Amino acid sequence: MQVQSPPTTEPPKPQIIDQLTTPAGVPNECSRRAKTQIDLLLLAIEALDLGGAEAMLAASKELGLDEVIRGRVNLWLLRSSNPLRRFSQRQPMSLEEGKALVLITCFLARRLTVLIRQLLLGYQQLNDQELSFEHHFRLSDYLARFRSHFRARMNAKRSSVIAYSTDEKLNELAIDLLTKLLFCTGTDGAERLWISLFDGEVS
């Protein structure tokens, strides 16, 4: 008598994933723009927090997302789907994986809210007084780390990366990402960030 093996079932999707709604008309995977934006926001978190990479894995576990973000290698592969990366991996990022990374981004941004606000306030004060970033140690340190991370990991031959070839342009990007991270810390920050990744892609 032939014994039929029980049907295989996929592990249940973490309920927290369902907090994020996907606009109608969006394809079944994250766009090039979405993958780039998510990775750059995580790069900014790494520049803010020296233990950022480990914090991402810890956050994944704490949020119950470790069935989606399956360890260090999987996290690296997902982030390497950013087409600007030096060693970009041409692989899709599912909407579920994108949502998980957005939830991790916002979770860590909320933990860094005080620091993010301090840096943005310092940036505004330096601008008002027409002073260089070197007059604010923590801001200068963040910017230096972000520039270092960006240059080490992004492909300098790509036109989108060449646009950030100067310290000034990278500083502007780093500040813009700080503003977006602060945006993540507010009410429904994860939902707003997720929807923003599809701006202009849905009619």
Let me know: does 174 contact 147? Beta carbons within 8 Å: yes
Nearest CA to 194 among 72, 64, 96?
96
Predicted TM-score (pTM) of this structure? 0.89
DSSP letter, residue 158: S
Cite the DSSP H helix spans in the chain.
32-48, 52-62, 71-79, 95-111, 113-129, 137-153, 159-162, 167-184, 189-196
Average pLDDT per block of 10 residues along the chain, 203 residues long: 46 76 85 95 95 92 93 94 90 94 96 97 94 92 97 94 96 97 92 88 48
Distance CA 192, CA 194 (A): 5
| pLDDT of res. 91 | 83
Which residues, including other chains, have CB under 8 Å from residue 56's CB and lie 6 or more apart?
42, 45, 75, 104, 108
